[in-house]
Structure 1
């Protein structure tokens, strides 16, 4: 015999772990910049130092190449993220400005439009009108931005935050293969670097899947196999060039 719960008896804390619109938007923004930046740092610099290690065993040469790759990659990630998110932010601000202007110039038409949008979501015409009126009285711009544009006027994407997150994440990720291959004794450096990079990619893959509420197994496999493939290819190319130059 099933027991039906009264909605008023359900505490908000019971659903605290479930994703909600505002928290998910902010989380995905940082997730995209942070996790992708860390992955790029790990794979890019690991591939670079493995390629150089395939051509030479000189520690200084490997370190210089790795540091150059780290700095160039971090700055490139930051610049690319800043440009990309700036474009998105400009579009969001333009859309909000347009909506604000329409609310000032034709409030009745905008109210009718909001009510119609709620009708399309399944509310009765009377309830949709009442909801639209109450939301408009509370915060007209926020109500229209959420339903029409899927935006929160108080959470405009920040290009500086995204750029900084990408740069820091790339740097942290890149330091792992760089320090591992430089500090490990020559006879063990390749396998230790491969193992540490694989472990790091497994962690970032698992973390991205968990934060994004996706399957962890496939994310981990994709990350690890992609990193191993990149390191294998660059090491092979470095070995071929090293043999020819030598």
Structure 2
């Protein structure tokens, strides 16, 4: 990773790049986009369902607010548990790789040389590169080669949890505010329209970050969101 100047006029994005390794940045972004999208869909489903039951304005707001915090806590907790498990796995792989180097140093160097030879280097150059890298930092280079794990760059579960928690709240604010402040008889269609716009944005962002087809990403997002709101509205209407 490139080193950035620590001058006072560094932008926020530059300071974040300094603080977080690329893999950690991607993990935080992933949790943030997922949290925002879930916040939009989950709370929209709740308030649309309650609106379908013809409940009062106060009931709509309380239901949406409760769903917002319950979902945010659930998302944050889920990310913490998930990434903690991933971090524990990284630590276990590191410990096993250290033991393997101690038990079979020459074998690990041979496997590393094979790795570079398979990448296109000549056998002689592969041997020389592997020898020098092993002498410099055997654990780090073999861990990266075998398991794509970098020392000192283990995932932090708190980063993903906090990102997911706050992004869920931000995403859920749109359907909550829409169902609260849009007047009847436009409350439900207005909220649905706002949610469709938000889901289009998150679908486009997630597809862009994943370097995948943006149209498919947006349509997939809209299908899930619209399907959720339709089902919950019908359930609320049938029980209301």
TM-score, normalization by structure 2: 0.86
Partner of 1:163: 161
CA deviations on 1:184-210 (whole Å, 9 max, x unpaired) are 112211111011100000000001111
Indicate the residue corresponding to 2:13 in structure 1.
none
Partner of 2:129: 131
Question: What is the match of residue 207 of structure 2?
Answer: 209
Moved more, 137-146 or 201-210: 137-146
- Write the mapping of 1:173-212 to structure 2, written as runs, cut at 5 A: 173-212=171-210
Q: Secondary structure at the match of 2:35?
A: helix
Contact 1:35–1:204, Cα closer than 8 Å, also in 2: yes
- The match for 2:109 is 111
Shift of 1:104: 3.7
Aligned position for 1:51: 49
Q: Number of matched residues?
A: 221
**Who is 2:29 aligned against?**
31
Match of 2:71 in 1: 73
Q: Please state how far the C-alpha of 1:238 moved relative to its aligned partner.
A: 0.4
Q: Alpha carbon RMSD of aligned pairs, Å?
A: 1.7
Per the alignment, in what secondary structure is the counterpart of residue 26 of structure 1? helix
Indicate the structure (1 or 2) with the bigger Cα radius of gyration. 1
Within 2, Cα distance between the matches of 1:110 and 1:29?
30
Q: Distance in 1 between matches of 2:145 and 2:84?
A: 23
Give distance in 1, aligned partners of 2:53 and 2:161.
Answer: 34
Aligned-pair CA distance for 1:166: 1.1
Q: Greater shift after overlay, 101-110 or 133-142?
A: 101-110
Query: How far apart, in 1, do the equivalents of 2:216 and 2:97 lie?
Result: 42
Whether the aligned pair in 2 keeps the contact of 1:206 and 1:216 (CA below 8 Å) is yes
Provide the C-alpha distance between the structure 2 equivalents of 1:26 and 1:87, rounded to a whole number of angstroms: 15
Please say if residues 31 and 208 of structure 1, whose CA atoms lie closer than 8 Å, have aligned partners that are also in contact: no
State the alpha-carbon separation in 2 of the partners of residues 36 and 62 from structure 1: 24
Unaligned runs of 5+ in 2: 1-19
Q: Report the counterpart of residue 142 of structure 2 in structure 1.
A: 144
